Structure 1
Amino acid sequence: MSPMLTYDDIVENLDDLPSLPAVVMELLNSIDQEDVDISVLAKKVSHDQALTAKTLRLANSSTYGLQVKVTTIQQAITFLGFQTTRNLITAAAVTGCFAERQCAGFDHKAFWRHSIASAACAKVLARQMRFNQDYAFTAGLLHDIGRLVLVACYPREYEKAIAHRDAHDCYMREAERAVLGIDHVDAGMALAERWNFSDTMRLAIAHHHTPEAQGAGFLAAIIHVADAIAHALDLAQMPDGLVPPVSTVAWTALGLDEEIYLQLFRETELQYEEIAMVLLS
């Protein structure tokens, strides 16, 4: 039996992970800066043609409802605002950042399909709750990013965790803890710190399974419910189709009725198709 891992082990291994393009790191660092020169950042992003193309395809998808077609990052910022554009750039960069690793039982595409479904659902939920949709979309997309960290840094151990889940018919998080000693939430937190995510984003990643925890924040409740809905709709066709238990606290905090949820499911499915087409092509 290999020794159990700790949070510090993950932090030490983050050096082996792919890093985001420098300009994306700069965008993440500029979250709370008032005096950031947007035109300079727009110019820097446009030097990365693949990233620009993916971002603009996302901006022009019907999800964002623009009446005009944007052809430059600067135009996207003008029509969608800096924050939305920055989150689209981050989404485009992160989904292309992790190379597929050989890890038996881990389906890279299904992972991203579930993440995109959660992001689409979180965005729709946030709009309903009059909460910041950009934060919700990005947090939904990145809530499980710790799984990719574990697969990238410990592929053999993660294979054993998947086998454990299949043998014991348990949730992946329980299997991770049993085999590795830590779970994808720990790994996600370590990466969120390394990549300088905002505190709001870190809290959502940290508490998407425990939204009732003290100080978890409202975004964690949105992501928690979006994650459960994405599992229930099974847009990703995940092999481990277990729908996670939903926190009564989070469900009550959102306070939505059945009719709104049915509308929400339909909208999530529509948005998911389009976003997945852009981010996974």
Structure 2
Amino acid sequence: MSAAAVPAPLPLSYDDVVKNLEDLPSLPAVVMELLNSIDQEDVDISVLAKKVSNDQALTAKTLRLANSSLYGLQIKVTTIQQAITYLGFQTTRNLITAAAVTGCFAEGRCRGFDHRAFWRHSIATAACAKVLARQMRFNQDYAFTAGLLHDIGRLVLVASFPERYEQALAYRAEHDCFMLDAERAVLGIDHVEAGMALAEHWNFSDTMRLAIGGHHDPEKPGAGFLAAIIHVADAVVHALDLAQAPDGLVPPVSPVAWNALGLDEAVYLQLFRETELQYEEITMALLS
């Protein structure tokens, strides 16, 4: 007599993801304060700088990034207050957020998920998005942070549902498909939706939320221009294979997003070179 078939697990919903967010690691309180201060005019910067300085690991990582060639400072900054003086509050806030987020999620919870490859891809996308934003005269800090966080929903799914995500990784390997499709087939939800849930939970700005939500579909109404920048940066980085991830598929590029950027071949060649150069240094700052 054959054993009864095990019923397939029910597809996950957005609410399932939201319910699990409370169990995820949270960003340091001062980083949440920084994120909440994005649209505030009366922020006491010196108080926030002092609070960040109390977290030595976060400060060290932030200063390593501030002193990288990404910002081309002529002097070496040694305090958060100095970083704010030379780079400005908005840039420093984004560096602190980058330093905090890259150290936030525990590794090794899901077999087959390469945590370092995930962050290498995210860092490369951030570097590429920053260069693209400069070309487009768009806010480079927003582009860098959105590039870094565009796939953060994958970490949400890995941390909250490790066994299910392991099955999604196996599905992707078997079917040679994009991770987005594997997530939808196995989990019933994808990393874009999970990323939107976390962005809401962590009080990200509307600009950041739209970029995370639209980076695979920049043509959808209201996606915003930043989503187009992240979409193109993501594809460029996959093509350059900087993360050396097992998923070597290059996602198709939306013609609408590509044309919206309107850059010529010479600019793209320069973009490739700058991304490769900056990627190494940012990776050293954030992952070492």
Match of 1:11 in 2: 18
Structure 1 position 39 matched with structure 2 position 46: yes
Structure 2 counterpart of 1:235, one-letter code: L
Structure 2 spans left out of the alignment, 5+ residues: 1-7
| Range with greater deviation from structure 2 (102-111 or 199-208) | 102-111
**Does the 8 Å CA contact 1:21/1:93 hold for their aligned counterparts?**
yes
Structure 1 position 134 matched with structure 2 position 141: yes
CA distance in 2, matches of 1:265, 1:145: 23
CA distance in 2, matches of 1:145, 1:63: 22
CA distance in 2, matches of 1:264, 1:175: 31
Match of 1:25 in 2: 32
Q: Deviations over 1:244-275 (max 9, x none)?
A: 00000000000001111001100000000100
Structure 1 position 185 matched with structure 2 position 205: no
Structure 1 position 256 matched with structure 2 position 257: no
Q: Deviations over 1:142-194 (max 9, x none)?
A: 00000000000000000000111111111100000000000000100000000
Identity of paired residues, percent?
A: 84
Match of 1:228 in 2: 235
3-state SS, counterpart of residue 105 of structure 1: coil
Structure 1 position 194 matched with structure 2 position 201: yes
CA distance in 1, matches of 2:15, 2:109: 24
CA distance in 1, matches of 2:109, 2:50: 36
Displacement after TM superposition at 1:101 (Å): 3.0
Structure 2 counterpart of 1:145, one-letter code: I
Q: Deviations over 1:198-226 (max 9, x none)?
A: 00000000000000111110000000000
Displacement after TM superposition at 1:125 (Å): 0.3
Counterpart pick for 2:218 among 184, 193, 211: 211
CA distance in 2, matches of 1:176, 1:102: 17
Structure 2 counterpart of 1:31, one-letter code: I
CA distance in 2, matches of 1:179, 1:18: 24
Structure 2 counterpart of 1:237, one-letter code: Q
Displacement after TM superposition at 1:109 (Å): 0.2
CA distance in 2, matches of 1:178, 1:252: 31
CA distance in 1, matches of 2:179, 2:111: 14
Structure 1 spans left out of the alignment, 5+ residues: none
Structure 2 counterpart of 1:75, one-letter code: Q
CA distance in 2, matches of 1:172, 1:95: 21
Structure 2 counterpart of 1:17, one-letter code: L
Structure 2 counterpart of 1:128, one-letter code: Q
Counterpart pick for 1:153 among 150, 154, 160: 160
Task: Compute the TM-score of the two structures, normalised by the length of structure 1.
Answer: 0.99
The structure having more radius of gyration, on CA atoms, is 2
Displacement after TM superposition at 1:105 (Å): 1.6
CA distance in 1, matches of 2:251, 2:74: 38
Displacement after TM superposition at 1:5 (Å): 0.4
Counterpart pick for 1:49 among 50, 53, 56: 56
Structure 2 counterpart of 1:147, one-letter code: R
CA distance in 2, matches of 1:100, 1:15: 18
- Give the paired residue count: 281
**Does the 8 Å CA contact 1:101/1:155 hold for their aligned counterparts?**
no
Counterpart pick for 2:174 among 151, 167, 171: 167
Match of 1:90 in 2: 97
Match of 1:109 in 2: 116
Q: Deviations over 1:55-87 (max 9, x none)?
A: 001001111000111111001000000000000
Match of 1:276 in 2: 283
Displacement after TM superposition at 1:102 (Å): 2.7
CA distance in 1, matches of 2:20, 2:85: 39
| Shift >6 Å, 4+ stretches | none
3-state SS, counterpart of residue 22 of structure 2: helix
**Does the 8 Å CA contact 1:101/1:151 hold for their aligned counterparts?**
no
Match of 1:121 in 2: 128
